[in-house]
Structure 1
Amino acid sequence: MKPAVVIIGAGSAGLGAAAALLERGVTNVVLEQGDRVATSWRQRHEDLRLNTVRWLSGLPGLAVPRHAGRWVSRDDYVAYLERYASRQALDIRFGVRARRLTPTGRGWQVGTDTGVYEATHVVVATGNDRVPWQPDLPGLAAFGGPVRHVAELRRAADLAGRRVLLIGAGNSAVEIAGHLVDHGVAQLWMSIRRPPTILPRQMWGVPLHPATVALRYLPERVRDGLARAISRRAFGDLTPYGLPAAADGPFRRMRTTGVTAAVDQGFVGHLVAGRLSIVADVTRLTPNEAILRDGLRVEPDVIVTATGYRSGLADLLGPLGVLDRHQRPLTGKGRQALPGLWLTGFWPAIEGNLRQHGREARRIADAIATGRRRFGGPRPPAADDRRPHPIPGTRP
C-alpha cells in the first residue's frame, strides 16, 4: 500500500508531524536527504543550547528527559530526536532528496533522486533555517582572510587568539559573540546595522520562556512594552557601550521581518566589561581591512557572518505559487497551502519554535485524520502493516 502522507524532512517539525499522524492511524513515510535524523541540528556549533526550557521543547508523545537539564545542549537534543524517531517507530527513508512536487487528480507525486513517491497528502518540514544567507559585500572576493557563515562554525574555540569581525545582530550573532569571547578570541568587533532587542534567558533564576507562552494572547504592543521593560530591568541602558535600544519591539519585528529577539547567554556581560566592541556596518572590504560606514577601519583575521538563513523552498515549491517574494509560505501555521499540501516549521516564534512544531503537528494530523473519516478514506492498517512504500515500479 502507498502511504497516506509523505513528509519531507526528519528534523523536529517533520518527526513531530509523523508521530502525530501515526497516533491517529494515518500511515506516512518521512524522506530525509541526510543519513540520520536532525541533520541541521548536528551542523550547529558545539556550544549551542536551547533558549527554551526543556519541559516546553518536546514533541508530541515523548518529553525531553530531565537529565538534559533546563537548557538542553545540542548533543542532548539530537539524542532526544534519535530516541523519538525510534520510540515512535517512524518510517524514515534516509539519503532521499525531494526534488519536485506534482499535483495529481488523487493527491501528490514527490519526485526524488531515488524514485517517485505518491500520496494523498504531502507535509513539507525542511526547516526555516535551511540555507545560510551570505551578504554580497563589496570587496568580499579580495579579502585575504577566511569569511565564514556562523552555520559553518562548528567550534568557537577554533578562533581562539584570532581577531574576529562578526557581522550581524540577531540571536545567532549575540549567542556566538558570547562564545567567541569565552573561548579567547584576541579581539572581537561586532558590526551592527539595526540594534536588536536583547532579552535575558532567566531573571532571579526563573526562566522567562514560560512567561512568553502565557502572555502570547496579549496585544502585540503590550508584549513589546513588557519585553522592553524586562530588557531595561535586566541590562540597563546599553547606549554608552554602542548598543542603543531597538527602534521597534521584538514581537513587531518578528511579525514584520521574521527576525526573532536575541537571548543573552553572557554577551551583555562581555560588552559591558569591554571584551568586545560594537562597530558600524561594513561598507567595503580590502585585502586586509573592513571599512565601516563611519569611516573606521578594522583589520580582522577572520570574518564571521551571522546574517540569517533562507528557507530554500523556491526550488521545491516555487512553481506552485505558495511562497511570497522572500520565499516564505503564504499560508498560516500548520495549514494547507494547496489541497493536500501542508507546511510546518516555517514560522519562528518568540514563545518557542519547538513548542510551535508540536502544535502544528497536532493541527495537521487532526485535519488529515478528520478529512479521511469525513470523506470515507481507507481504514487504518493493521499494526504490522504500517510501513508505506513508493509507487510500484520505482526505486525506494
Structure 2
Amino acid sequence: MGSCKKTVGNHPNLLFVHGPIIVGAGPSGLSVSACLKNNGVPSLILERSDCLASLWHQRTYDRLKLHLPKHLCELPLFGFPENFPKYPTKHQFLSYINSYAAHFSIVPRFKQEVKRAEFDSKIGFWRVQTQDCEYISKWIVVATGENAEPMIPEIAGIERFEGDLVHASGYCRGSDFGNKRVLVVGCGNSGMEVSLDLCSHNAIPYLVVRNTVHILPKDMFGFSTFGIAVSLLKWLPLRLVDKFLLLMAQFTLGNTDKLGLRRPKTGPIELKNATGKTPVLDVGTLSQIKSGKIKVMEGVKEITRNGAKFMDGQEKEF
C-alpha cells in the first residue's frame, strides 16, 4: 500500500490497495483484518469516525456490560485478559479492542467515510470512494455493524414535544434524569437496561411495549443462558432447545404476560434466526417492573406538547 496519489484532471486522489478493503473498524472489521494478516494477506480498514469501535465509544451508556460471557465474545486469535470478569464492562471491552489492534499492528485509516463503492468490470477491481480519496482493490469487506444507524420510530405528534428527546444511542447515564418521569419507547435490551438505569437513579421510567418480546434470564444454574443454548443446539433440534429455554424462563422469571410483556408464539432462537430480533436477557429490570418502580405501557397513541396519550386512554406528562 502507498499513500494517495494525485491523478490528472478532476479525478480524485487514487490509492491502490494490495489486499482487501475493509469498511468499518469495529470488532468484525478488526477480526477480519487480524485473520487475513495471520494468513499473510494485507488489508486496509476504512473507518468513518476517529477511533476504533466507534459505536462502543460514542453510542453506549455508562453502565453497559457485555450481556454474554467473555468467552463467547472474544475476537479470533487473541482472547480477553484472564483477570477480566465474566461479563466485562464497556471500558474493559474498549481496552481489549485497543489491545487487539495493537497486538496485530492494525492501523485503520480514520475519518474516511465511504460515499460510494462499485465494481468496475472493465478492470476487475472495486472502486471505493471516500471524501478525499478513491481506493482501488480486488476485494471489499463490509463490516459496518447491524446497529450502526439509530432508528427513531414514527409516532404521531413527536415533533410537538417540548421536553428532551433522546435516542438510546445518545443516552449516557440515569443521573441526568433524577426524579423525572421518563418515557422509554421500546423494550429490547437497550430499552430494558435504560429503564433499569433510570430507576436506579431515582427517575420514574414508563416503558412502552409495542410488540411481543422474549425475556430470558441472563444466567441459568450459574451458567450463561446463551452459552447453554449454544451447547444444546449441538445435540438437540432448535425447537426443543427453545422449549427448554422457555420452560426455564417460566421457572425463574414467572409468567411475563401478566406484566404486560407478552411472548411471541415463535421460540426465541427460531425468532432470532428468522427475523434477527434478539431476545432480552434480563439484568434486573424485571424485578423493578414487578415492584412497580418501572411502569409498563401498552402503546403510544400520540405524543403531546408535554407528554403522551396511550392506547388505553391514559394521558401522562413526561
**TM-score strictly above 0.5:** yes
212-221 or 152-161: bigger deviation? 212-221
**Contact 1:175-1:263 within 8 A present in 2 as well:** no
Q: Match for 2:88: what amino acid?
A: V
Q: Residue 156 of structure 2 aligns with which residue?
A: 138
Pairwise CA distance, 1:119: 1.0
Write the distance in 2 (CA, Å) between the matches of 1:30 and 1:52. Answer: 27
Q: TM-score, normalised by structure 2?
A: 0.90
Match of 2:97 among 73, 81, 87: 81
- State TM-score, norm by structure 1: 0.73
8 Å CA contact retained: 2:260, 2:298: no
1:68 paired with 2:84, answer yes
> Structure 2 matches for 1:1-396, cutoff 5 A?
1=1, 2-43=17-58, 44-104=60-120, 105-185=123-203, 187-217=204-234, 218-300=236-318
CA distance in 2, matches of 1:168, 1:138: 16
How far is 1:82 from its partner? 0.7
C-alpha separation in 2, matches of 1:216 and 1:100: 40
Which runs of 5 or more residues in structure 1 are unaligned?
301-396
Contact 1:109 1:117 in 2 (8 A): yes
| % identity of equivalent residues | 29
Inter-partner Cα distance in structure 1 for 2:109 and 2:23: 10
Map of 2:11 onto structure 1? none
Unaligned runs of 5+ in 2: 2-16
Aligned to 2:10: none
Q: Give the equivalent residue in structure 2 for 1:307.
A: none
* 3-state SS of 1:269 partner: helix
Q: Output one character per residue of 1:348-381: Cα deviation in whole Å (capped at 9) or x when no partner.
A: xxxxxxxxxxxxxxxxxxxxxxxxxxxxxxxxxx
SS at match of 1:109: strand
> Is contact 2:173–2:197 with CA below 8 Å preserved after alignment?
no
Q: How many Å separate the matches in 2 of 1:234 and 1:146?
A: 37
2:161–2:303 Cα contact (<8 Å) kept: yes
The alpha carbon displacement at 1:80 in A equals 0.5
One-letter identity of the residue aligned with 2:103? R
**Which whole-Å CA distance do the structure 1 matches of 2:180 and 2:207 have between them?**
14
- In 2, Cα distance between the equivalents of 1:146 and 1:58? 37
- Name segments (4+ residues, structure 1) moved above 6 Å: none
Q: Tell me if the contact between 1:108 and 1:121 (Cα under 8 Å) persists in the aligned partners.
A: yes
> Is the Cα contact below 8 Å between 1:144 and 1:287 reproduced in 2?
yes
Inter-partner Cα distance in structure 1 for 2:28 and 2:68: 16
Give the Cα separation in 1 of the matches to 2:51 and 2:256. 43
SS at match of 1:131: coil
Aligned to 1:375: none
Contact map agreement 1:47 1:73 (CA 8 A) in 2: yes
Are residues 123 and 285 of structure 1, via their aligned partners in 2, closer, same or farther at CA, if it must alter by over 3 Å? same
Q: CA deviation at 1:193?
A: 1.6
Letter in 2 for 1:198: I
1:51, distance to aligned residue in structure 2 (A): 0.8
Aligned to 1:386: none
Deviations 1:316-357 (A, max 9, x none): xxxxxxxxxxxxxxxxxxxxxxxxxxxxxxxxxxxxxxxxxx
Q: Note the alpha carbon deviations across 1:262-312, whole angstroms, 9 max, x for none.
A: 011111111111111111110111112311111111211xxxxxxxxxxxx
For 2:131 and 2:69, the matched residues in 1 are separated by 38
> Higher mean Cα deviation, 219-228 or 283-292?
219-228
The structure showing larger relative contact order (alpha-carbon pairs under 8 Å, at least 6 residues apart) is 1
Describe the shift of the 1:159–1:88 C-alpha distance in structure 2 as closer, same or farther (beyond 3 A). Answer: same
For residues 190-226 of structure 1, what are the alpha-carbon distances to aligned partners after superposition, in whole Å with 9 as ceiling and x for unaligned?
1112131111111232222321221335433223212
